[in-house]
Amino acid sequence: MAFAITPPPQPWVPVQGGDPFPVRRIYCVGRNYAAHAREMGHDPDREPPFFFMKPADAVAMDGSALPYPPATADLHHEIELVVALSKGGANIPEDQALAHVFGYTVGLDMTRRDLQGEAKSKGRPWDTGKGFDQSAPIGALRTVAQIGHPTDARIRLTVNGESRQDGNINQMIWNVPETISYLSGLFQLQAGDLIFTGTPEGVAAVGPGDRLEGAVEGIATLSVSYNPKS
């Protein structure tokens, strides 16, 4: 088909030892670790999960030097296990959910916390706080064939070599099958969708010149830095 303008490029994520994974949508789970819910001022009782989205082209590659984003003085890191879907569906039962998973990696749900806080206080959408350009740095995917379905793995983040977040994916309030099942009742999921599954405690600010190194141990690593002030 001929388009009126040059079509924008397909966002993608590298796959360890394989062809790149094309990204369709990025779904994110909010407050999925009790200690993080508490540090954000919420009671982590098992309320239904809630979701927000980032644009697909918010992905940023492992190893990137990123510009410090505009319009914020409080850019926060959230290190998260990321699930990639190989097939879609609606109303997927929990016991069939894992059959929809292509693989896993680690990602950063970067957050302009000042803009998110303003949105929360005024009852406005989170998009400017969560869905900005390059707000989703992400590591290379590992396939289910390579690593299975991890349920117990340390997840951690250092900033300039200093530990900031250190948890375990077994602390998630809603596990991966529950999350896929619930999300598929809200949206028709499709191959190419990514799900950021929430962050453990320890979120904090990063500034220009900072280097972030994250990992879900045994799964993936991620390293990005923010350009120094020019």
Closest CB to Mn ion among residues 53, 144 = 53
Q: Tokens 């966002």, residue?
A: 11
Tell me: does residue 72 bind Mn ion (CB under 5 A).
no
Q: What amino acid is encoded at 58 in this protein?
A: A
Cβ-proximal residues to 7 (8 Å cutoff; 6+ apart), any chain: none
Give yes or no for residue 78 binding Mn ion (CB under 5 A).
yes
Minimum distance of Mn ion from residue 174's CB (angstroms): 13
| Rounded Cα distance, 125 and 94, in Å | 29
Contact 58, 133 (CB under 8 A): yes
How many residues touch Mn ion under the rule CB under 5 A: the total is: 3
Q: Report the sign of the C-alpha dihedral through residues 223, 38, 43, 45, in that order.
A: positive
Minimum gap (Å) between residue 183 Cβ and Mn ion: 14
Does residue number 32 form part of the binding site for Mn ion (CB under 5 A)? Answer: no
Q: Find the binder of Mn ion among 59, 109, 131, 173 (CB under 5 A).
A: 109
8 A C-beta contact, residue 21 and residue 102: yes
Residues 175-214 that bind Mn ion (CB under 5 A): 199
Nearer to Mn ion, 40 or 191 (CB): 40
User: Interface residues with Mn ion (CB under 5 A)?
Assistant: 78, 109, 199
